[in-house]
Structure formats: C-alpha cells, structure tokens
C-alpha cells in the first residue's frame, strides 16, 4: 500500500499542479485581458483601431480634397476622394468632420523641453500636452537648456528616461555639438549611433554654461562625422560683432527700451555667421568632401544680406536649408512695448519692412520650413516687472500656438493651407529624416490635426493653455483665428475639446 502511495503521489502532485497552473493562468488572462485593453484605450480618446475620417477639406500632397482617410493600427491605409465615402471596409466607424480641415499634424523641429534638470522651465509632460493641444504631433527637442545638456550617449539616455511615459506626442532629439565632442569623434559617433536625429551648435554664447559655442573649425569637424551618418547640423547662426556705433546706440534708450536690445544684436551678426557657414557648405555638394552632411540655419530673422547668402549657396547646389519662426512673422520691433520682455529672443524681432520681406521669402519657398524655437524659462528670469531687455532671458514661449499664429498672420499675406502644411509638416519631416510622418499619404503614421481656420478666439486667461508658464507667452492677449478641434498621433486621439487622452503614449523617435 505504502509503495503504491509513493508511486502515485508524484503523479498526483504533477497532475494537480498542472490543473492549478492552467487555472491560474486562465484567471490571470481573464484579469489581464481587460487591463491590456484599458491601457490601449488610455492612449486614445477613441476606442477604434480601424476607422475612417471624412471631411470636405483634407490637405494631401496632391492638393485639398473632399474625401476620406482610412486609419488602421496607427497608419493611414487608404485615402479616397468623396466626402462621406468609404472604400471596401464599409463596416468601420466613420468620424465626420464636415468642413473642418484635416491636415497632417505639425512637426515642430525646434523645441526646448528643458528636462531633465530644468523641468521648472518646461517639461516633457507640459510641453507635449501643449503640443497636442496645438495640433503639433511631433516635436524635436533641443540639446540645451536641460541639465546636463545632451552632448553624449549617456546624456541622451537621461533624456530618454525622463521622457518615458510622459510624452503625449512623438519626440525626436537633437544632440549638441560643443568644442569638447567636436574634437573627439568617438563621443559624437556614440551620440549619433544612440539615435539623435542630427546635431545642434551655437556660433555665439548660448546662455547655458554647459553648452559652449563652437567656431567654424569645430563645425567642420562635426560635419565630417555627420556626413558619414547623413544627418544635419542645426546652427544658431549669429557671431558677436563689436562695433562702436552699436555700443553708442545701446547707451541711448536704457535697458527697458526694445530698440536698445535690437541694436545690441544687429543683422550683421547673422550675416557674419552665415558667411562662414556658406564657406563650408560648398563641400556638401554632390561629389564634395562633405557630401552627406547638411547645414540648417536656425531661426533666421534677417531677410536681407543673410537671406541672399543662403539663396546663393542653394543655387550653387550646397546642402543647406533655413527656417524662420512665427514670432518673426507676427511681430515687428516698432510695436514691442518698452519693458515687455516676453518679446525678447535672439536673434531679435526686427522692423516691419524686414518682416514683409521675410513673408515674401516664406511664400516664394526660399525659407524651407517653420519652427517655434519654444524656449521658456522661469517667470523671475524673464524679469517681467523690471522689464530689462538686456538682462532678461531670451526666448519665446509659443509651442501651442504654432498653427493659429502662422495662419492668422499668414492668411493676410496670401498663405494657403497647402503651403502651411508644407512649411509645418512635410519639409520638417524631410529635414529631420522622419519620412513616415508629415503628409496624409498611404503608409504614413496617422498624425493628424483637425481644425477650423475660420474660428476666431481670444488668447486670454480663460483660454486653456498647457504650457508650463502661460503668462510668459508673447501671444497672450492676441485675437487669433484657427481653432484646433482634435489631434491624432499614430491613430490615437490624444486631444479633443480641451482634454487629453488619459495616458501619455507618445514615443521617442530615434535615428537608425
């Protein structure tokens, strides 16, 4: 009998464990299944993974159509003409946007999210919520104002850790080119191999102590590494010039006068930097020693000599591009009130004549793309009360208003929806190397903004602003047109009627 028990017991134990294992497994699944579903749904205010969007105004690479876009598992799988129509998959949900504009989400390639280290200035959570609320579906984060700056693969890792589960839109990263890594190609290669989309450098002091400026010598070194990776160099293009005339002018109005600040950074700073850069970009031409590298001029404000230099370099076949920002297109120096440091940025906002020429260059395609250079700080560093333009932090807070600001001011100059979409989506995607985004085309990510260009609103204290420091924004108090209704990131409805999806499901974009 005892012998029998000893023989059967292991078998019985095995059998019972088998049953218990499968029972637990099953009940675990039963619990897990709805949980998994819930997590997915938390990414989106919409519960379908396969659906259609229909509208009378869809901005596509072939023009504006009245039609429908089919979205499945985060991607655009068909685009057809005919409002309200569905293709073969007739049983899927259709969201009808009527005559609201359906456009590719904006890609803002110049955003300072300042995390880790200066989250009190701006952060992944607040910055990307603001982006989503403004129809911006991808941002590319700058390597400075965060601490430490993103200048090595180790510091990029800190960025990625800080961003985890906290980004509401997709986020790419620029690495920093500073003298230290410019002279050590293995650090740069480590940073590029870790996935930054390209590098950024300053040709004048950046205002951040661990982000020193580079000379043209460092820039050449950086470009020789970038050429191998076929990624761009983004340059803050101003070189400090000392001229007696400017110093005299500076003394006249005092630090609360906007003109005083304007005179401290004349267009000759931009011209000097761009002159040096175009001396190097000749080597980026096809067959040249730096073929594969590309130079991108950040936030051009001077629409005269600096722009001419860029146009000439382009016509010679150099690999060079240029952006400007909404604040240079919306404001002019003449209207900036004394002491209102919300308008302080570098390079400075210039006069109305310059602004007119800048718009002309944008509309004629000489300026490749737009970006915000969203660069907030703490209110106390903006010195709003003192109003000292010389001491205040330079940087405009605008990320959430990219679309309505560009549209409100641009339509007066004849800007079309197609141009708007090229400047804010297609061209930035190409420049940053994120080709799966930037247009409503089959195979692309379903990154979409739905908005009403005709709806006007006042940006006052009742308006839901998601930026960390709304009061710093130079756009507060303005009446704008172009209201964002809904924003999709990879098919997830991340923003609707002033509300965000419960979970932050943006993903980091890393270059391979």
Ligand X SMILES: NC(=O)N[C@H]1NC(=O)NC1=O
Check residue 271 for interaction with Zn ion (CB under 5 A): no
Query: CA dihedral in degrees (58, 64, 66, 70; nearest 10)?
Result: -40
Shortest Å distance, C-beta 500 to Zn ion: 25
Which residue's C-beta sits nearest to Zn ion? 236
Site for ligand X in 366-385 (CB under 6 A): 373, 375
Binder to Zn ion among 129, 236, 296, 445 (CB under 5 A)? 236
Q: Residue 120: enclosing H or E segment and its boundaries?
A: none
132: Cα separation from own chain's centroid:
11
Shortest Å distance, C-beta 342 to ligand X: 11
- Residue 145 touches which of ligand X, Zn ion, none (Cβ within 5-8 Å per kind): ligand X
Binding segment toward ligand X, per CB under 6 A, in 70-78, 125-133, 147-155, 204-212? 204-212
Closest CA relative to residue 368, chosen from 425, 439, 287: 425
The count of other CB atoms within 10 Å of the CB of residue 330 is 22
Residue 209, preceding bond cis, omega within 30 degrees? no
Q: How many angstroms separate the CA atoms of 254 and 258, rounded?
A: 9
Residue 38, preceding bond cis, omega within 30 degrees? no
Shortest Å distance, C-beta 345 to ligand X: 3
Give the residue with the Cβ less far from ligand X, 236 or 478. 236
Give the residue with the Cβ less far from ligand X, 222 or 438. 222
E strand residue ranges, 93-214 = 93-96, 101-104, 106-111, 136-141, 170-173, 175-176, 199-202
Check residue 394 for interaction with ligand X (CB under 6 A): yes
Check residue 140 for interaction with ligand X (CB under 6 A): no
- Residue 395 touches which of Zn ion, ligand X, none (Cβ within 5-8 Å per kind): ligand X
Give the residue with the Cβ less far from ligand X, 114 or 170. 114
Closest CA relative to residue 324, chosen from 447, 406, 256, 265: 406
Binder to ligand X among 44, 126, 206, 284 (CB under 6 A)? 206
Shortest Å distance, C-beta 180 to ligand X: 18
Give the residue with the Cβ less far from ligand X, 236 or 427. 236
Helices (H), 194-302: 216-229, 244-253, 258-264, 267-281
* Binding-residue pattern over the window 373 to 402 for Zn ion, x denoting contact by CB under 5 A: x-----------------------------
Check residue 395 for interaction with ligand X (CB under 6 A): yes
Check residue 302 for interaction with Zn ion (CB under 5 A): no
DSSP-based three-state secondary structure for 63: strand
* Binding-residue pattern over the window 110 to 129 for ligand X, x denoting contact by CB under 6 A: --x-----------------
Of the CA atoms within 13 Å of residue 466, those in its CB half-sphere come to 22
Give the number of residues in contact with Zn ion, rule: CB under 5 A. 3
Shortest Å distance, C-beta 430 to ligand X: 23
Shortest Å distance, C-beta 311 to Zn ion: 21
Q: How many angstroms separate the CA atoms of 305 and 361, rounded?
A: 13
Check residue 350 for interaction with ligand X (CB under 6 A): no
Q: How many angstroms separate the CA atoms of 307 and 313, rounded?
A: 10
Shortest Å distance, C-beta 211 to ligand X: 7
| Angle, in degrees to the nearest 10, between helices 267-281 and 305-315 | 10
Closest CA relative to residue 423, chosen from 408, 437, 406: 406
Shortest Å distance, C-beta 232 to ligand X: 17
Binding segment toward ligand X, per CB under 6 A, in 203-211, 277-285, 310-318, 381-389? 203-211
Give the number of residues in contact with ligand X, rule: CB under 6 A. 13
Check residue 68 for interaction with ligand X (CB under 6 A): no
Q: How many angstroms separate the CA atoms of 481 and 463, rounded?
A: 13
Give the residue with the Cβ less far from ligand X, 110 or 256. 110
**Residues facing 232 on adjacent strands:** 294
Radius of gyration, alpha carbons of the chain? 26
Inter-residue contact 458 to 482 (CB < 8 Å) = no
Residues that bind ligand X (CB under 6 A): 112, 144-145, 206-208, 236, 345-346, 373, 375, 394-395
Q: Which residues make up the interface to Zn ion (CB under 5 A)?
A: 236, 298, 373
């Amino acid at each position: 009998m005892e012998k029998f028990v000893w023989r059967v017991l292991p078998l019985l134990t095995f059998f019972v464990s088998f049953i218990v294992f499968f029972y637990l497994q099953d009940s675990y699944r039963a619990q897990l299944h709805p949980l998994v579903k819930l997590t997915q749904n938390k990414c989106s205010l919409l519960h379908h993974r396969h659906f259609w969007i229909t509208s009378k105004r869809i901005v596509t690479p072939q023009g504006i159509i009245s039609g429908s876009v089919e979205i499945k598992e985060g991607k655009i799988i068909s685009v057809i003409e005919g409002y309200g129509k569905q293709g073969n998959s007739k049983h899927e949900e259709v969201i009808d946007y009527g005559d609201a504009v359906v456009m590719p989400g904006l890609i803002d390639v110049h955003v300072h999210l300042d995390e880790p280290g200066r989250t009190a200035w701006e952060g992944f959570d607040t910055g990307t919520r603001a982006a989503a609320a403004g129809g911006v579906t991808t941002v590319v984060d700058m390597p400075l104002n965060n601490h430490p700056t993103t200048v090595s693969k180790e510091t990029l890792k800190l960025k990625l850790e800080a961003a985890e589960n906290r980004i509401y839109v997709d986020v790419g990263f620029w690495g920093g080119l500073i003298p230290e890594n410019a002279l050590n190609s293995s650090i740069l290669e480590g940073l590029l191999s870790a996935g930054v989309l390209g590098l950024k450098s300053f040709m004048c002091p950046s205002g951040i102590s661990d982000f020193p400026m580079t000379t043209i010598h460092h820039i050449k070194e950086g470009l020789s590494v970038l050429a191998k990776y076929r990624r761009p160099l983004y340059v803050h293009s101003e070189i400090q010039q000392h001229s007696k005339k400017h110093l005299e002018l500076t003394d006249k109005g005092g630090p609360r006068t906007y003109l005083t600040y304007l005179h401290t950074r004349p267009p000759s700073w931009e011209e000097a930097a761009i002159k040096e850069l175009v001396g190097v970009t000749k080597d980026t031409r096809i067959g040249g020693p730096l073929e594969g590298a590309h130079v991108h001029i950040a936030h051009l404000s001077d629409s005269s000599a600096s722009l001419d230099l860029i146009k000439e370099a382009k016509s010679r076949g150099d690999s060079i591009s240029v952006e400007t920002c909404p604040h240079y297109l919306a404001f002019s120096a003449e209207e900036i009130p004394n002491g209102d440091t919300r308008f302080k940025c570098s390079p400075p906002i210039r006069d109305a004549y310059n602004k007119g020429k800048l718009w002309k260059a944008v509309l004629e395609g000489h300026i490749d793309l737009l970006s915000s250079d969203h660069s907030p700080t703490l209110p106390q560093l903006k010195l709003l009360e003192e109003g000292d333009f010389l001491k205040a932090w330079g940087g405009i807070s605008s990320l959430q208003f990219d679309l309505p600001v560009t549209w409100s001011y641009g339509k007066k100059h004849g800007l079309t929806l197609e141009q708007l979409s090229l400047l804010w989506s297609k061209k930035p995607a190409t420049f940053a190397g994120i080709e799966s985004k930037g247009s409503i085309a089959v195979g692309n990510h379903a990154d979409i903004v739905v908005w009403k260009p005709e709806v006007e609103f006042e940006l006052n204290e009742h308006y839901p602003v998601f930026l960390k420091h709304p009061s710093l924004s130079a756009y507060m108090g303005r009446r704008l047109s172009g209201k964002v209704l809904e924003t999709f990131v990879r098919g997830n409805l991340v923003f609707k009627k002033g509300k965000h999806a419960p979970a932050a499901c943006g993903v980091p974009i890393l270059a391979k």
